[in-house]
């Protein structure tokens, strides 16, 4: 009988491929839900018990519903659109930056030229006023261009983005732990169902009464005492076939199954066969010898 764990391990490569292709947590959750549906289909193909199928469906649906809470996040990446993310160009400087920068440089050069070259052509007082005025204008232009550049740089620095890459291996191991937990619960239910089936086989309505088992066991013991007789052989065959239809096995003594028999000294072999259902003795046999 296949288990959820075995089916998931067999399907590991397929799931990892789908999970690795997911670009977001939502896509990863979809991959998990799809894998859970696939597991349920594969499990039901090999399971015969309707009760266990119903329980498996309930548990799978519960995990599917809560799949959005899975911690499937892996590494986080923080990037800037202008500097770190491929495919994006750095933002260009504003046109006003270049205009003001050029004006500032020209005004600075002009003021220096006036102060140096036009000293003899223009009265000193007028020359000084013009030079200082142009120098002030140059400083204002350069200051303004610097402010524009600083504002652009600040805006660019704030354009940071973060994204989290889903971890396929981490998601697989979380799903595997869920499969192990489901198997434990299903095994408990299967054990309980086996015990109920054993009891049902001894119930008056659905199986055999305890008195009937004892009666057939006594009939086998009498027939075994005359096993060389053709009629006794026929009785043994008929009783074994009837018990087999009730899912009861008739076990003969072979020296290795002593736990199924009460033993008495003298002779050798099976005096009364043991009756066993689902590996549980419902009536011990009787054997002679060691």
- The vertex-235 CA angle with 231 and 237, nearest 5°, equals 115
Mean pLDDT over residues 3-26, rounded? 88
Q: Which pLDDT does position 206 carry in this prediction?
A: 46
pLDDT class for 42, splitting at 50, 70, 90?
Answer: very high
pLDDT class for 272, splitting at 50, 70, 90?
Answer: very high
- The vertex-136 CA angle with 130 and 138, nearest 5°, equals 100
Q: Which pLDDT does position 112 carry in this prediction?
A: 59
Q: Which residue has the higher pLDDT, 213 or 273?
A: 273
Environment class of 189 (CB within 10 Å of its CB; exposed 0-12, middle 13-18, buried 19+): middle
Q: Where are the beta strands (DSSP E) in the chain?
A: 73-80, 160-166, 249-251, 261-264, 269-272, 274-277, 280-283, 285-288
Which residue is associated with the tokens 């120098």? 135
Q: Which pLDDT does position 93 carry in this prediction?
A: 60
Question: In angstroms, rounded to a whole number, what is the distance separating the alpha carbons of residues 35 and 183?
Answer: 16
Question: In angstroms, rounded to a whole number, what is the distance separating the alpha carbons of residues 207 and 225?
Answer: 28
Question: Strands 280-283, 274-277: parallel, antiparallel or unpaired by DSSP?
Answer: antiparallel
Closest CA relative to residue 82, chosen from 98, 93, 71: 93
Q: Which pLDDT does position 244 carry in this prediction?
A: 83
pLDDT class for 189, splitting at 50, 70, 90?
Answer: confident
37-46, 138-147, 151-160, 214-223: least confident range:
151-160
Q: Each residue of 116-142: pLDDT tens digit? A: 555 555 555 555 566 566 566 656 666
Question: In angstroms, rounded to a whole number, what is the distance separating the alpha carbons of residues 41 and 93?
Answer: 60
Instruction: Give the mean pLDDT of the chain.
Output: 77
Closest CA relative to residue 185, chosen from 280, 60, 42, 48: 60
Q: Which residue has the higher pLDDT, 144 or 286?
A: 286
Mean pLDDT over residues 182-200, rounded? 80
pTM: 0.47
25-34, 76-85, 101-110, 251-260: least confident range:
76-85
CB environment 168-179: b (16+ within 10 A), e (fewer): bebbbeebbebb
Instruction: Give the alpha-carbon dihedral of 32, 33, 39, 44, to 10 degrees.
Output: 170
SS3 of residue 287 by DSSP: strand
pLDDT class for 153, splitting at 50, 70, 90?
Answer: low
Closest CA relative to residue 5, chosen from 50, 35, 39: 39
Whether the predicted pLDDT of 91 surpasses 60: no
12-21, 145-154, 205-214, 264-273: least confident range:
145-154
In the chain, where the domains are located: 4-73+166-199, 95-158, 210-288
Token pair, residue 101, equals 């920068």
Whether the predicted pLDDT of 239 surpasses 70: yes
Token pair, residue 169, equals 């291996």
pLDDT class for 238, splitting at 50, 70, 90?
Answer: very high
Q: Which residue has the higher pLDDT, 161 or 226?
A: 226
How many percent of the chain have pLDDT more than 70? 63
Token pair, residue 57, equals 């469906």
Mean pLDDT over residues 223-249, rounded? 87
């Amino acid at each position: 009988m296949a288990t959820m764990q075995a089916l998931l391990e067999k399907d590991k490569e397929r799931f990892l491929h789908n999970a690795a292709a997911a670009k977001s947590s939502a896509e990863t959750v979809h991959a998990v839900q799809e894998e859970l549906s696939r597991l349920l289909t594969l499990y039901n193909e090999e399971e015969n018990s309707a009760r266990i199928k119903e329980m498996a469906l309930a548990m799978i649906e519960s995990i599917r519903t809560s799949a959005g809470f899975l911690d499937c996040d892996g590494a986080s990446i923080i990037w800037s659109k202008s500097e770190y993310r491929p495919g994006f160009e750095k933002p260009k400087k504003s046109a006003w930056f270049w205009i003001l920068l050029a004006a500032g440089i020209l005004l600075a050069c002009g003021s220096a030229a006036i102060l140096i070259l036009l000293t003899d052509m223009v009265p000193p007082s007028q020359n000084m006023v013009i030079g200082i005025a142009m120098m002030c204008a140059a400083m204002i232009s350069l200051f303004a261009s610097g402010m524009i550049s600083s504002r652009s740089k600040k805006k660019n620095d704030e354009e940071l983005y973060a994204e989290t890459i889903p971890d396929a291996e981490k998601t697989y191991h979380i799903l595997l732990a869920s499969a192990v937990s489901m198997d434990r619960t299903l095994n408990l239910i299967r054990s309980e169902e086996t015990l109920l089936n054993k009891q049902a086989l001894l119930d008056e309505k659905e199986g055999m009464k305890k008195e009937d088992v004892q009666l057939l066991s006594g009939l086998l013991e009498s027939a075994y005492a005359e096993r060389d007789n053709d009629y006794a052989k026929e009785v043994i065959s008929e009783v074994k076939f009837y018990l087999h239809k009730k899912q009861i096995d008739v076990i003969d003594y072979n020296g290795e199954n002593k736990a199924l028999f009460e033993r008495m000294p003298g002779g050798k072999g099976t005096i009364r066969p043991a009756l066993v259902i689902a590996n549980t003795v419902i009536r011990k046999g009787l054997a002679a010898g060691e």
